[in-house]
Structure 1
Amino acid sequence: MKILVLSLLRLGDIIQQAPLFKGLREKYPHAEIHLLLNKQFSSVEKILDGVVDKYIYFDRDALQKGLGEANYNILWSYTEVERLIQTLNKENYNAAYNFTHNKLSAYLLGALQIPQKNGLYQEEGRFKGLTNPWLRYFNDRFSGTQKSLFHYVELLGNAFALPTKATTAPHVKSKSKLVLLQCLTSDSKKNWGLEKFAELKRTIEISLVDYEVCVLGASFERETLAAVFSERDLLICDLPEARKHLQNAALLVTGDTSIKHLAAQVGTPIVEIAIGSSDSTKTAAYSAKALILNSDVACAPCSHSQACPQASHLCAEDVSVEKVFGAVWDQLSGEKIAQKNHIRVLERAVWSLYLHNESEPSYREALQNIFEQLSQKEISSCLSAWNEHGTLLLNWFNRAKAALPSREELAGKKNFQSSDIADLILCAQDILKTKRDEAGYFQNFVESLLTRFSHPVQIYDRVSAALTEAEALLNIRSSFTQYLQTSSTEGAYYAKGIGQLPISGFEETGKSVQRNLENAEL
């Protein structure tokens, strides 16, 4: 079997996809796996060793120049793409996986003659491949600042049925007790600040005298780093060298960079400072050993495509050196800060049940997964808030359902005005204002009222489809809640001693009520 994977994203994204490549190798151990990636990221070959058999390069920079610069023939880029497609088709791939999910990768995959296409592709002028609920969720939540309950790797792993798991393997602590700092990112909005990193370095060296602190950097970053750090503090290196340093390190402190994904790959403990456009739920280091520090300012996370709109870098200012050092201390001492959001764990379970799209959701299995993450006490403590929020969600649904005019009513409108759906708009506004639909039960409902339409009937179709999704989710949430409440009640009884009764029976009379083995009488 021969498989092609398309990953036309940035370096950090490709490194982040390592668990997906490993999952693909585990699922098809004897397959020949080829990877199509952008030419400027050829250094990744030394990082994905053992999971990719052949690398094929797409020269995106040259093709873009060919389309925009006068000294190129107008058909040059088209000819180059056509040549690439012919080369790929000669490989006779059995299957392809699109890990990129943008228009470019969709057009390329659509042009290839591959019988089994997984993920987004273009065919006959239309985008296809989003039949899987996990892929639809991925497509809806990763295009902008929409909230997601799941990590990038989790979503594609579930969508493509690939076994993936966050790094949990034990990391051998370095005898040198080396702490590495990765200070710079590809986007200034995500930079915590060199002066703050310098202060953190001094704090670690004063408080933890037996630890050595060094600063990682690429060759093009040397001059910027040298303005704050001494030359002896710098470890200027390429990716393979950085990997060796990370394998020898006790901890990495970093922003949102490709280096954090490399550290996750080798099992190095991480303190990640997620600021600017960095969304830790979507693309944090995929590792159980990562401790994520987020900013609480209202504008974070912001959009990737825009500059910081604030007068000062508020999200960076919100994360103090003391807070980062506290996380460093916890990681080095093994006393990791508890980061569990109990309600969020339950919401993830509900959405997982929905996205698996099974006729009979496996509530018991979902509950077992919950018990692996939360204790009985933690579940009981959050049930009241969980039920209260469920009531709010149900009220929103009933209100929106009642406010939706019938299809026939909208079809008969000759002069449609926004006042005809005023109650629907008010309901959507209230949902947005409360900021309490963090799990996104009504995201599609709100967006259905924001999209343009050519006929009023389209409003009904879009809103009705969004409410059907919300109803299905709320039904699963209700059934799951019953399982939660039952387990909580049983746990409470057990805690009071009922679950600890002796096997021999009730001992109310001073002796156990046991079966007589000779005559079977009690």
Structure 2
Amino acid sequence: MKILAVSLLRLGDIIQQVPLLKGLREKNPQAEIHLLLNRQFANVERILEGVVDKYIFFDREALQKGMGEASYNILWSYTQVENLVQGLNQEAYDTAINLTHNKLSAYLIGALNIADKRGLYQEDGRFKGLSNRWIRYFNDRFSGNQKSLFHYVELLGNAFDIPVGPASALISQGSGTATRRSKLVLLQCLTSDKKKNWGLEKFFQLKRTIEISLVDYEVLVLGASFERDSLLKVFSEKDLLICDLFEARKHLQNAALLVTGDTSIKHMAAQAGTPIVEIAIGSSDPTKTAAYSTQSVVLKTAAPCAPCNHSQDCSQSSHICADDVTVEQVFGAVWDQLSGEKIAERNLHHQMERAVWSLFLDKNNSAVEPFYGGAAANLLEKVSINSLRENSAVWNAKTSLYRSWLAKATAALPAREVLATHRTFQSSDIAEMILCAQDILKSKMDDAGYFQAFVEALLSRFSQPVQIYDRVHAALQEVEELLTIRENFTHHLQTLSTEGAYYAKGIGQLPISGFEEAGKSVQRNLEDAEL
């Protein structure tokens, strides 16, 4: 069996995809796996040893020059792509997996003679490959600033049925506990986008604070050769650890902690099992692309403009999202990580929303139908019953609010038969639905995106009035299904939490000898059996 994986994104995305490639290898141990990637990232080969059998390079920079510079023949780029497609077809792949999900990769995979194409591809002038709910959710939520409840790796793992899980700390030989391998703290100060840079002066202050407070730790600044001059404006030469990707991985494997922004280095640290403190500012969206690790702490800005678009400049007069994260906050997270303190549980509502959406997205797969009890039990392993009770009122109130929005939108939707009689579309036909959508957006309460498809349907263009009914009706049906799952999940969660509370207060507190006495007391007495 031969598999072609396509990854035509940036370096950080390729490194982030390593768990997916390893999972693909684990699931298909006898397969021959080839990876198509941009030529400028050829140095990634050394950190993917044993995972990929063959690398094929797409010379994107040369192709773009060929299309834009007068010195190139106008057909040169076309000829290069044609040769690439012919070469790939000669490999006779059984399966192609698109890890990129942009138009370039879709057109390229669409041109290949491969029977089993997974993920986005183009065929007969249409985009196809959105074959299950997980891949549609990924396609809908990762194209812009839409919010996601799931990580990039997690979504693609579910979409392509590849076994993946967040990395955990490395285990020392012959020991059952994770150990720190050195007293080295690494700082990765610079990123590819200046909006995501916390600031060299802040990193310098953090370095001094760690060295003064934790005198047995050494703090060094990790950087690439092209970053040296920028780093020397604040740090001295002896503070720097300048190296390539392969050398950086070795340092990360030995480090006690990495403090970083949104970079490819954090993904390498996650895969090395190194604890991480990540500073998520600017265009960073940690829910989507944070380090995929159980040993990572993310410090997020509360600035209302974050996360912003990758392609746009900062819209503020000052870098307020960076200023919002203080040196004291970062040092507190460093202290917790190095002292081995338990990482605080994530927001309970976030965990509950993830459980609801997972049940919804799994419903599309006939082999994975919702099991509410199991989902509730899994959540109760992560959070306390007291925390659940404290948050239940807010959770239930939001469910009621969503129900009221759904009822209002459904009532405002004109009948399909009525719209079918209209030759042209009138805004008055959907005026009530537009007001409903405005209420939803203004409230900022739909943080899990239940009504996202509904709002987007109203923003779409239609050639015929009846088309808006089909789009909106499908979106509202999705909301109904989500809310039904939410209510069923809530019921099972309440049942299990009640049983857990009874256990904690009753049998769970009995000594072993108490079971004998309890057994005698619960024998049936027919004389006392009246209601």
Q: Bin the TM-score by the shorter chain.
A: over 0.9
2:260 aligned with 1:254: yes
Aligned to 2:347: 341
Match of 2:432 in 1: 423
Residue 222, structure 1, aligned to residue 231, structure 2: no
1:95 touches 1:115 (CA, 8 Å); kept in 2?
yes
Contact 2:424–2:464 under 8 Å retained in 1: no
2:243 alignment counterpart: 237
Instruction: State the Cα distance separating 1:506 from its structure 2 match.
Output: 4.4
* Bigger Cα displacement from structure 2, 360-369 vs 188-197: 360-369
CA gap of 1:504–1:293, structure 2 versus 1, over 3 A, is: same
Aligned equivalent of 2:294: 288
Amino acid at match of 1:7: S
1:468 alignment partner in structure 2: 477
Shift of the alpha carbon at 1:494?
2.5
CA 1:256–1:127 in structure 2 vs 1: closer, same or farther (change >3 Å)?
same
- Equivalent residue, structure 1, for 2:101: 101
1:238-269 CA-to-partner distances (Å, cap 9, x unmatched) read 00010111111100000000000010110110
The structure-2 alpha-carbon separation of the partners of 1:206 and 1:69, relative to structure 1 and needing over 3 Å to count, comes to same
Q: Is the 8 A contact 1:407 1:460 kept in 2?
A: yes
Indicate conservation of the 8 Å contact 2:169/2:274, yes or no: no
Asked if residue 407 in structure 1 is aligned to residue 425 in structure 2, the reply is no
Instruction: Give the 3 Å change call, closer, same or farther, for CA 152–513 of structure 1 in structure 2.
Output: closer
Cα deviation code 1:454-481 (max 9, x no counterpart): 2221211111110011111111111111
Q: Which amino acid aligns with 1:418?
A: S
What are the equivalent positions in structure 2 for 1:310-389 lying under 5 Å apart? 310-357=316-363, 358=365, 360-389=369-398
Distance 1:135 1:505 in 2: 56
How do residues 477-496 of structure 1 correspond to structure 2 at under 5 angstroms?
A: 477-496=486-505
What do residues 7-47 of structure 1 show as CA deviations (whole Å, max 9, x unaligned)?
A: 00100000000110111011101111100000000111011
* Structure 1 residue 417: Cα displacement: 2.9
- For residue 18 of structure 2, what is the aligned residue in structure 1? 18
Secondary structure of the residue aligned to 2:459 is: coil
AA matched with 2:456: E
CA distance in 2 between counterparts of 1:478 and 1:384 reads: 13
C-alpha distance in 1, partners of 2:379/2:169?
Answer: 21
**One-letter amino acid matched to 1:275:** I
* Contact 2:101–2:120, Cα closer than 8 Å, also in 1: yes
Residue aligned with 1:373, SS: coil
Q: Distance in 1 between matches of 2:327 and 2:225?
A: 27
Q: Within 1, Cα distance between the matches of 2:117 and 2:285?
A: 29
1:139 aligns with 2:139: yes
Instruction: Give the stretch that moved more between structures: 381-390 or 13-22.
Output: 381-390
Shift of 1:322: 0.5
Q: Name the SS of the counterpart of 1:199 in structure 2.
A: helix
The code of the aligned residue for 2:347 comes to N
Q: Using the alignment, how far apart are the partners of 1:486 and 1:492 within structure 2?
A: 10
CA separation in 1, counterparts of 2:145 and 2:78? 33
Secondary structure of 2:381's match?
A: helix
Contact 2:356/2:485 (<8 A) preserved: yes
Deviation at 1:176, TM superposition (A): 4.2
Structure 1 residues 90-99 or 453-462, which shifts more? 453-462
* Alpha-carbon separation, structure 2, partners of 1:183 and 1:249: 16
CA distance in 2, matches of 1:414, 1:240: 64
- Structure-1 separation of matches of 2:484 and 2:19: 33
Gaps spanning 5+ residues in structure 2: where? 173-178, 525-531
Which has the larger displacement, 6-15 or 361-370?
Answer: 361-370
Deviations 1:263-303 (A, max 9, x none): 01101100000000000000000000010000001100011
The alpha-carbon deviation at position 136 of structure 1 amounts to: 0.2
Where does residue 207 of structure 1 map in the other structure?
Answer: 213
Is 2:195 aligned against 1:186?
no
Comparing 491-500 with 50-59, greater Cα deviation is found at 491-500
Query: What residue identity is the alignment partner of 1:95?
Result: T
**Cross-structure match for 1:519:** none
> In structure 1, what residue type is equivalent to 2:382?
Q
Range moving further from structure 2, 352-361 or 32-41: 352-361
Q: Distance in 1 between matches of 2:470 and 2:522?
A: 66
Distance verdict in 2 for CA 1:175–1:403, change over 3 Å? closer
Q: CA deviation at 1:415?
A: 5.3
Corresponding residue number in structure 2 for 1:165:
165
Letter in structure 2 aligned against 1:201? K
5+ unaligned residues in a row in structure 1: which ranges?
Answer: 516-522
SS in 2 for 1:253: strand
Decide whether the 8 Å contact of 1:291 with 1:336 is kept in 2.
Answer: no
Query: 1:518 maps to what in 2?
Result: none
Which is further off, 371-380 or 321-330?
371-380
Shift of 1:147: 0.3
Task: Report if the CA contact (8 A) 1:33-1:53 is conserved.
Answer: yes
Q: CA deviation at 1:413?
A: 3.0
- TM-score of the two chains, using structure 2 as the length reference: 0.94
The equivalences for 1:393-404 within 5 A come to 393-404=402-413
Give 1:496 deviation, angstroms: 3.2
Name the Cα RMSD after superposition. Answer: 1.6
TM-score of the two chains, using structure 1 as the length reference? 0.95
